[in-house]
Amino acid sequence: MLVVQLSDPHIDALRPEKAAAFARAVGHVLELPLRPDAVLITGDCTDHGLRSEYDTFQALLAPLDMPVYVVPGNHDDRAALLSRFGHLGTQALPGFLHYVVDDLPVRLIGLDTQRPGHGGGELCGRRLEWLDARLDEARDRPTLLFMHHPPLVSGLDVMDAIGLEGSARLCDLVLRHPHVARVVAGHVHMALTTGFGSSTLMTCPGTDATFQPDLSHPHQLILQYQPPLALLHTWSQPTGLLSFTHFLESPPWVMLHDGQQWAPNDPPAAQAH
Ligand SMILES: [Fe+2]
């Protein structure tokens, strides 16, 4: 199984470079040596939630011939997303983009963390009770939760001011369900990894850039821009769930080690290893 996670494209009519970066990311997904089984977009699909921005977003997704699963970010319009993507998955919670994807070796559960009108997110009692029931009904299945707002404290005041309410309750829930193999999110535009209950939490940067904060100034947000990343979540019988960090900037290229040695004509840089 290969599930590609992209995040935070922020399609913006006034900033065409955002759409161009997302188009490159989609093209990159299609060039991967292994065809993905699904693509996750973990929110902030558009910057202003405008119809024209969603039209562009959907047009840019069109080349992807595998299922694409979307959850809303704080910049999105939930009603607009529901009208276009409300059919996704199964067992959807009415009024939210909260749903299950049950046809892969790893069960995927999309969580709608949006709190309309706020930069921060929330998982209210109704959304957490739904999740509790979904996790209870398949305790033998490795499960990946995907959402926009990560349930973490980054230590960066500007980011933490728009964090996720309900994180502690979500953590308790994950602790009671050790089959939650991974929790993944977007929002912070950085690549963070931390423990979360009995699971591991990872964030996927945006499709246009990865932010690297200047930690010498935690009360300000001084960002170095770095190349965009995707996360590739893979599963096989011997490995279980593995998540790779994958650069989106340059096209993927392939070299061969046949199990004994590198194939002839390796690139010079590779021969040094
Ligand atoms: Fe964002």
pLDDT for 214 equals 82
> Ligand 1 center to residue 174 CA distance, Å?
25
Residue-number span of the structural domain to which 177 is assigned: 2-271
Joined together, the tokens standing for residue 214 give: 């200047």
> Ligand 1 center to residue 188 CA distance, Å?
7
**Cα distance between residue 24 and residue 28, in whole Å:** 6
Task: List all residues 6 or more positions away from 66 whose beta carbon is below 8 Å from its beta carbon.
Answer: 35, 36, 37, 38, 39
> Ligand 1 center to residue 73 CA distance, Å?
7
Sorting pLDDT into bands at 50, 70 and 90, what band is 272? very low
* Count of the separate structural domains present in the chain: 1
> Ligand 1 center to residue 189 CA distance, Å?
6
**Cα distance between residue 217 and residue 163, in whole Å:** 19
> Ligand 1 center to residue 191 CA distance, Å?
13
Contact (CB, 8 A) for 249 and 210: no
| Residue 166 Cα to chain centre, angstroms | 19
> Ligand 1 center to residue 172 CA distance, Å?
26
The amino acid sitting at 145 is: L
| Partner residues linked to 211 by β-bridges | 225
Could you tell me the CATH number of the domain that includes residue 115? 3.60.21.10
pLDDT digits (tens, 9 = 90+) for 64-81: 999 999 999 999 999 999
**Cα distance between residue 128 and residue 131, in whole Å:** 5
**Cα distance between residue 14 and residue 4, in whole Å:** 28
pLDDT digits (tens, 9 = 90+) for 97-140: 999 999 999 999 999 999 999 999 999 999 999 999 999 999 99
Kindly tell me if the per-residue pLDDT of 258 is higher than 90: no
pLDDT for 190 equals 95
